[in-house]
Amino acid sequence: GNFQNNIQELINLRTLSIKGTRISGRMSDTFPVDLQNLVELTISDNPNFGGSIPASLGTMQRLETLDLSNNQFRNVIPPQLGDLPKLQFLVLSKNTLSGRIPGQLGNVRTLRVLDLEDNALTGVIPQSLQALDNLERLLLAGNGLDSLRVSDEVCALRGESLIEFVTDCPDRDNNNNIIGVVCPQPLCCTGCRSQ
């Protein structure tokens, strides 16, 4: 049967970890509405599982860890994830997520790790991330971010708690113009990765 239907009755469940299994299909739009006591939700390394990340995850007020890495999630990152008041670890790397990084993520002041590497995200790095003064790791490489500059406000996090900030290395086009993400201060990014 569908594991999502089977666990809906486990209302006191605090940790759900499904890693490297053979589950397939997509995440239900209403999953996991009844699991309001979840502190950790890890569904990772399942190459046949994905769909859209449900906006209903934004109702999980106790959630501290959300790891949906290395699956087949697509479409946009729901802005409702910015409504998670206790979230510390948001790991959505190695999917095919597209669209922009939602500015609402700047509302999650408890966030320590934001890992969005290896997706198909575009647009600029939102200035709202400057509010994340507990952020230790900001991992954005492997996307199509079109900002030529990281804002000074986001770079200012390097002087606070941020110890790792990785973006794509600047590339050069045929006219020797820099394309990709470029950090304006040498100490802003801790590293970059060639695509």
Mean of pLDDT values over 54-80? 96
pTM comes to 0.87
Q: Is 72 helix (H, G, I), strand (E, B) or coil?
A: strand
Strands 40-44 and 49-52, bridge-based pairing: unpaired
Which position has the higher pLDDT, 4 or 7?
Answer: 7
Contact 17, 42 (CB under 8 A): yes
Name, in order, each residue with C-beta under 8 angstroms of 5's C-beta and a sequence gap of 6 or more: none
Residue given tokens 């708690």 in the structure block: 161
Q: Which helix (H) or strand (E) holds 168?
A: strand 164-168
pLDDT of res. 194? 64
Q: With bands split at pLDDT 50, 70 and 90, how would you rate the model's confidence at 2?
A: low
Q: With bands split at pLDDT 50, 70 and 90, how would you rate the model's confidence at 185?
A: very low
- CATH 3.80.10.10 is right for the domain spanning 3-193: yes
Condensed to tens digits (0 to 9), the pLDDT of residues 5-32 reads: 677 778 889 999 999 988 888 888 767 6
pLDDT of res. 10? 81
Cα–Cα distance, 44 to 17 (Å, whole number): 8
| Alpha-helical runs (H) found in the chain | 3-7, 152-155
Percent of the chain with pLDDT over 70: 79
Cα–Cα distance, 4 to 7 (Å, whole number): 6
Domain boundaries, the chain: 3-193
Condensed to tens digits (0 to 9), the pLDDT of residues 68-114 reads: 999 999 999 999 999 999 999 999 999 999 999 999 999 999 999 99
